[in-house]
Amino acid sequence: MSNTTSKTVKRMGIGLTAFALLVSSACAAKVNQAGGDSTTAAATSPAAAASGAAPASSTAASGGASASSSPAASGAASTGKMLPVTGTCSAPVNLAMNDWVGYTADAAVVTYILENDLKCKVNQKALAEQLSWQGFASGQIDVIMENWGHEDLAAKYITQQKVAVDAGLTGNLGQIGWYVTPATLKMFPDITNWQNLNKYASKFATSESGGKGQLLDGDPSFVTNDEALVANLKLNYKVVYAGSEAALIQAFRNSQKNNTPVLGYFYSPQWFLSEVPLTKINLPKWTQGCDSNPKTVACDYPNYNLNKIMSTKLANSGSPAAALIKNFNWTNDDQNLVAKYITADKMTPEAAAKKWIDANPAKVNAWLGK
């Protein structure tokens, strides 16, 4: 979910520290709709990622997740047909690990099946989103399990260099936006209309925001247009970086617990939304091309049809790993459940994956071509 232009921001640290994710009671992440679903999570192997979360750029391009249409994919998700899973793994599968728990959930389930059913060796490598893409060119990375758009990177590594391919949709619908807690919404009931944000700017001021309202973002490498949005919508706010998904989540928790206002970047799928049902701010509606220029973007984020990216080498290798990964396709609820096992239930990613796999043999067998 990071960016190169307006979608990525240089890494900064601020007063908030990365808090451990605490207890959550439910798994399905539903968001109150004055906006829609929200998204993401923190991976067990630390990386400088995305939206932790989460997402990437929004213009449609080959290989990227798009708002209104799904990219043409070589995997089963685009055709509805499962590929045969045959042969043996002749080389390890190098799997990028981006820094949000939804990604960890994807990777944990696929890794468990690769190692236990297909007897493949898997190397998980903690990397930021952009570095993960660079790994296709260097040969260090074979798979990105959850890509949030990144049309610029898709154009470079898929279209131009041809070192990577679109491996199909994950089945997850991602959404990025600005959110408030129920406590904040109760204080300012009309804040869901972006045109009312300036009216309350002083209420969101912090020591980090320089007299302006604070818009709290997560990891600076997440996909974000927020600095451009603040400027182009002429909002009296300053983007401040919590530094991680965990710190962002803790800020929302604190807001709800202490009845203090907070406005922050967030996303879905995200298990945390079942703990604190955030409400999305209605920014100017996204339309095709409204965010094509990262400097002038003044519209909401699109919905992202999340997809998998695979090295051309692995895709053409005949490895059963390639077929399995292309076949992999599940729902936001599936991902949120595994993420909840990892974060709230304190299970290891491997144990969480096994629990889900044992409860979903039909889906797993379909991925295995059985």
**pLDDT at residue 219 in the model:** 85
Which pLDDT value is given to residue 223? 77
CA pair distance 10, 132, nearest whole angstrom: 17
HSE, side-chain direction, 13 A CA sphere, residue 358: 6
Residue 109 burial (CB count, 10 A): 27
The kind and range of the H/E element at 133 are helix 129-138
pLDDT for the residue numbered 80: 62
Q: Pick 16 or 132 by higher pLDDT.
A: 132
Phi–psi pair at 367, nearest 5 degrees: -60, -35
Q: Which CATH architecture has domain 89-174+305-357?
A: 3-Layer(aba) Sandwich (3.40)
Q: Inform me whether the pLDDT recorded for 272 exceeds 80.
A: yes
Contact of 367 with 57, CB cutoff 8 Å: no
pTM of the model: 0.73
pLDDT surpassing 60 at residue 291 = yes
On whether the CB atoms of residues 152 and 57 are closer than 8 A, the answer is yes
> Smallest Cα–Cα separation from 343: which of 274, 256, 262, 257?
274
CA distance linking residue 312 with residue 74, whole number of Å: 11
* pLDDT over 90 at 21, yes or no: no
Q: Averaged over 106-127, what is the pLDDT? A: 98
Other Cβ atoms closer than 10 A to 17: 12
Asked if pLDDT for residue 72 goes beyond 80, the answer is: no
Query: 321-335, pLDDT tens digit by residue?
Result: 999 999 999 999 999
For residue 138, give Cα distances in angstroms to 141, 142, 168, 368: 8, 10, 22, 29
| DSSP annotation string for 242-289 | -SSHHHHHHHHHHHHHHT---EEEEEES-GGGGTS--EE-BPSPP-TT
Q: Cα separation of 308 and 329, whole Å?
A: 10
pLDDT digit string (tens) for 183-210? 999 999 999 999 999 999 999 999 999 9
CA distances from 20 to 106, 244, 288, 352 (A): 20, 11, 38, 18
Count of beta carbons in the 10 Å neighbourhood of residue 162: 10
More confident residue, 266 or 32: 266
Instruction: Measure the CA–CA gap between 196 and 190, rounded to whole angstroms.
Output: 7
